[in-house]
Structure 1
């Protein structure tokens, strides 16, 4: 990455803008950060979940009309990191010297719903499998991740307080993030006392719907050298995308149905590519759409053994002063979750962390970063980063 940029994430309808405005702001920020002009970009991968066909073209036309290939990307909540994966793949494969990954979302307030009701819903297979394990409830997303949390509690004795502490942590981290949708700090009692969405999840442990955009400029080593950008560049040292496995359904487990095995498989591939272990990582941005998923993901990423995520929380091992700082941005719970932009916002945060420019959120001595972005239905992208100049 040679340039990153994003907009502030906003409550839907709270700002007078449309997705081209979001894309223009994030894209220009990323190009300015890279110190290059848009005509140097050879391909663009543009992600969004809710929108009409070719919205990707309309979005990047705000940056210029250069005739380059523009590929529209939709992979549910992992859309942004999928655009990043494709842009990096194009550069890695020698197809482009410089590519843009851009994501945006203009969302409706409230819980996510379906757009097309005259056909099979992509999550139906997962929902039917989960309904065999725990009684179905609405809305579907908190039901799925809440069910996974309940299963974790039943198996390992994890408590509602441990999940709530994750909400406390991420809201506390967001106080220092000017891009975050919410910047309020809450006590454990306040998180626990908030409206229950699906037990054990309360409202302050759930990511909100959000509007916003993120963008990342990816370039080859040759491009970086030609333009003298090595001092700001951040290298992708490992990256993997994994979709649902046989175990997703064969395990008869809510934890598997929300993607734990996908994450575990992708993380192992990334560690092998990068030649690192979880203990080598300094800072992590992971997909905390719900606090239950953050805890489950600790285990899937190998930060601890299966069933021991609650111990990491109680020990303070996932915040400043602990073994890792997880979601210094405030995560999806507090920063917000505009689906197409989330993965690129995670990448932006980690780039700033590795450059040492994250201001009050800065993790001291951060040299290796890990990103995790998941979308049910399903796909997960895990990426490891380090500064290009070591």
Structure 2
């Protein structure tokens, strides 16, 4: 039988703009120390480490964890594009669930450069060549940042299919800024009006500048353990992982010439179905969600991919306020990637941190009332999607 996996400690740094952060191993140390303190254990009790980052040399994970201690434990470096942090969490969960360890750490960090993401190597085929070919065939290329063209193109396809207003996408950014205004860890916590968001520079229709997440630096960590370890240390009423699934691209990502499918809609939909089936819990039972809003278009698509609303009804869902306090769900109470920031390797674990705080009832001014079940969605093009459901005792 599979063992229950508890999340007994979480921690994260306040995210920063490129050029304004500490060294990667210093940010990682701070997040790791916060998670250990939160768990009430020492690093000597951690048996394995899974460390995620995208932009860094091999074994940066070891250099980061060495700041916490030199105990000789196995350290696995993880790189899965924007879903790197939750991929590290996925591996850590498997180690506990499978009985391979009693206590492990999942750590993620990123020290990013200014500007849009790009390929680091020009002497080999990029891993997203198949995705780029879909975009070339569907809409061609412009001078806009490639990721904005991909997700913006998916938003445009949705808009043409359902007649969605451009302002609907802007409403998502307005909500993100409002939520972030209550989050001291958010990079951008100034409230913006819908008019200000729509008046910002156009990036790629329907996206304006304030509808695109910024490159960010930061770190986050989580300590996972078995029930036996928790009992030994007197840890009670912990948050636990009720279900988790990872998917990668399906044939539909490339064969249907759909920008929506290319940016991971089917990965999200299938991972969500697996999680709901594992947990025996449907989307209607969830109170709070942290999802991958790298662009407002992706948040809109993900509402439907997660089953928070029926396909084609995201616009009504947004304008009815069912994605915020007082509605059906509170989505991205942290401010999400749009406002909290998106340090690629840390994002999934920062989402985990926020949801653990929510389920503990310690999220301060952004606390979601009666939060008992939480859902996390973390997506990386290339591709991988990790969805995790959390519950509290």
| Shared fold, TM over 0.5 | yes
One of 22, 33, 36 as aligned partner of 1:31: 36
Q: Provide the residue aligned with 1:286 in structure 2.
A: 291
Deviations 1:188-231 (A, max 9, x none): 00000001111110111110000000000000111111111123
Q: 1: distance between equivalents of 2:90 and 2:175? A: 29
Q: Provide the residue aligned with 1:88 in structure 2.
A: 93
Offset of 1:357 from its aligned partner?
0.1
| Residues 1:174 and 2:198 are matched in the alignment | no
One of 310, 322, 327 as aligned partner of 1:305: 310
Q: Provide the residue aligned with 2:19 in structure 1.
A: 13
Tell me the TM-score normalised to structure 2 length.
Answer: 0.97
Q: 1: distance between equivalents of 2:65 and 2:236? A: 26
Contact (CA 8 Å) 2:373, 2:389: kept in 1 or not?
yes
Paired positions, count: 386
One of 366, 369, 377 as aligned partner of 1:364: 369
1:132 counterpart SS class: helix
Unpaired segments ≥5 residues, structure 2? 1-6
Provide the aligned C-alpha RMSD in A: 0.6
Deviations 1:89-133 (A, max 9, x none): 000000000010000000001111111111111111101111111
Structure 1 segments of 4+ aligned residues over 2 angstroms from their partners: none
Listed as ranges, the matches of 1:24-173 within 5 Å are 24-137=29-142, 138-173=144-179
Listed as ranges, the matches of 1:177-256 within 5 Å are 177-231=183-237, 233-256=238-261
Contact (CA 8 Å) 2:130, 2:254: kept in 1 or not?
no
Contact (CA 8 Å) 2:107, 2:219: kept in 1 or not?
yes
Offset of 1:135 from its aligned partner?
1.9
Deviations 1:310-334 (A, max 9, x none): 1110100000000000000000000
Q: Provide the residue aligned with 2:335 in structure 1.
A: 330
Listed as ranges, the matches of 1:347-362 within 5 Å are 347-362=352-367
Tell me the TM-score normalised to structure 1 length.
Answer: 0.98
Offset of 1:247 from its aligned partner?
1.3
Offset of 1:163 from its aligned partner?
0.4
Offset of 1:251 from its aligned partner?
2.1
Listed as ranges, the matches of 1:269-284 within 5 Å are 269-284=274-289
Q: 1: distance between equivalents of 2:379 and 2:254? A: 17
Q: 1: distance between equivalents of 2:312 and 2:128? A: 26
Contact (CA 8 Å) 2:197, 2:210: kept in 1 or not?
yes
Q: 2: distance between equivalents of 1:241 and 1:382? A: 7
1:171 counterpart SS class: helix
| Residues 1:22 and 2:3 are matched in the alignment | no
Unpaired segments ≥5 residues, structure 1? none
1:340 counterpart SS class: helix
